[in-house]
Structure 1
Amino acid sequence: MTREHEDLLGLLAEARKRLLIPVRDLTDADAAKRTTVSELTLGGLIRHLATGERLWLQVLRTADGSLPDGMLDTYQYTMSETLSHWLAAYAEAAAATDEYVASLPSLDIEVQLPATPWSPPEPQFWSARRIVLHLIHETAQHAGHADIIRESLDGANSTAQWG
């Protein structure tokens, strides 16, 4: 594994850690509560990111532009199952992503992205690096959402409560 692999996987691990802080000590009922005008819930965010990591890993592994089953699922943000179920699914997806990315000899490999309704008409290609950067961006963005949702839920926030 190169220094770049280590740096990017390290940043992704930090973003994941920040995402998980606001779901500490939550009940399933609290994880499913909407606390803002958006549809987002803490459990839904964990489900979305667990699903997202699993799907992006499929995109990275196949590299042929095939659309992973569930990639267009519009219910990814809703809480289904229990919070512990989605936390375990997220940990499993994260471990699989880390293992696969660490095994790549180079992050320069090109991956054809699946065609989606929002895609341009011509095939799109990303490097493995860009996919990892996308996961970092997505996780960090949703960690911020999770902070807001948790603070709206019970006043707890990652800075004051958990450092």
Structure 2
Amino acid sequence: IPFGIVGAILGHLALGYNVSMMSFMGVVALSGVVVNDSLVLVSAVNDYRRDEGLSILEAVKAGGTRRFRPILLTSLTTFLGLSPMILETSVGARFLIPMAISLGFGVLFATFITLLLVPCLYLFFEDLQRGFGKTARYVRTGLRGREDPPPAETPSPAE
């Protein structure tokens, strides 16, 4: 979502429009699209890990490859669909143009960042989780490297 906001602000700067209340409405609509793109990508990676049994790196590659085109095409069609409103010059459309700029440029910018950053962050957090797991095992086993002693056997009843 923050990258979508950056894209919206860059769009306003590039076209010379001030940020208005309608711009913020565009950012609200933008949030749903950006979150959906990220969820679709992460879901594809998780599916490859669970169903195909791929390693984390192979699952990220496969999920990114499988979902790249649908995410990109959805975002490009959103931007192209909003472009007539962005380029509109009539007085009646002037109040909607900032919303279209926020949504269009925010989606465009956030999509490219999402397609690059989400797979990297997925790998980063997986490594971080693995590191915490090793640290927890180290703390559990103690500084001497011993495992917890096995539970004592219960004596069998005498006959």
TM norm structure 2: 0.27
Q: Which has the higher helix share?
A: 2
> Which has more radius of gyration?
2
